[in-house]
Amino acid sequence: MELYFLGTNAGVPSLQRNVTSIALRLMEERRSMWLFDCGEGTQHQFLKSPLKLSKLEKIFITHLHGDHIFGLPGLLSSRAYQGGVTPLTIYGPPGIRKYVETSLELSQSRVNYELNIVEHEGGIIFEDDMFVVESAFLEHRIDSYGYRIMEKDRPGSIDPSKLAVHGLKPGPLFGRLKRGESIELEDGVIVHPEDVLGSPKPGKVITILGDTRPTPNVVPLSAGADVVVHEATFLHELASTAHEYYHSTALQAAEAAKEAGAGRLILTHFSSRYKDAEHLEPLLLEAQSVFPNTRLAMEHELIQI
């Protein structure tokens, strides 16, 4: 499980950074990738990355401002040309269906794979046997949402001493037990996964927030998360400006992560006034003064979860 930042700028692209898009690589977990927001130029950022559009399974849109969605029509159209033939689902606030369908219809774009669009207003929006995704309302100029991605607990490791009790040796039966299946031995004895596996391994929790002022929903969304991705559009000396434009400061992001008991904080969505690494450093130091385990999102950097 890895995060890859395709765009970290706020509002408009700059010479240094593109607008918002974040990939969550789940190659070991489900051989696929999820995308969070898709600002203009995201497909160009894909071309500079190790990511493959053919592996894209889901897109989660936080809100309908252009710097978070203007890249969608082009990316959807190009996906098939890059080997993307499997179904793709888009999740987003009400209005995302109209935006996508109208863009594709008026441009006469042909999407030759199954495209599903799920509009939501928070709550549990996806669940299967591996993951649960929950969404909650934030505070921005238009409806904006944060996403909490919860990996379900994974089976524990196989205990060799427990296998020996049943006379089991390495082989195909190992895989079945690891997947949670019971097996029948030649003598008719049934071996259940819990007979040979150690304690379950807790799943990871990742919180990716859309644009927001400080708001109560950030804390439950981020509670105990291994990683929280939070916007930090301004330094706290511009807190009044951040409030006026419905954004957060680096200090406010750190305060939220600390209150939530998060493991790590990654700052993104930087104002263009902070042009390069030198200008971004004060945001990092400001956040670290409250929440030391903070880092800046850097484009085309792969972060292990």
Give the torsion sign (CA, 245, 267, 133, 78): positive
Q: Which two tokens stand for residue 180?
A: 């949670």
Has 67 been annotated as catalytic?
A: yes
Please give the Cα distance from 215 to 235 (Å, whole number): 18
Check 67, 143, 153, 195 and give the catalytic one: 67
Is 300 labelled a binding residue? no
Helices 72-79 and 96-106, axial angle in degrees (round to 10): 60
Can you tell me the distance from the alpha carbon of 202 to that of 302, in angstroms, rounded to the nearest whole number? Answer: 23
Beta pairing, strands 190-191 & 131-137: unpaired
120 annotated as belonging to a binding site for a ligand: no
Strand partners, 154: 201
140 is in an annotated binding site: yes
63 labelled binding-site residue:
yes
Q: What CA–CA distance (Å, rounded) separates 145 from 91?
A: 11
Residue type, 174: F
67 is in an annotated binding site: yes
Is 68 annotated to bind a ligand? Reply is yes
List the catalytic residues: 67
**Binding site as annotated, residues:** 63, 65, 67-68, 140, 211, 269
Binding residues for Zn(2+): 63, 65, 67-68, 140, 211, 269
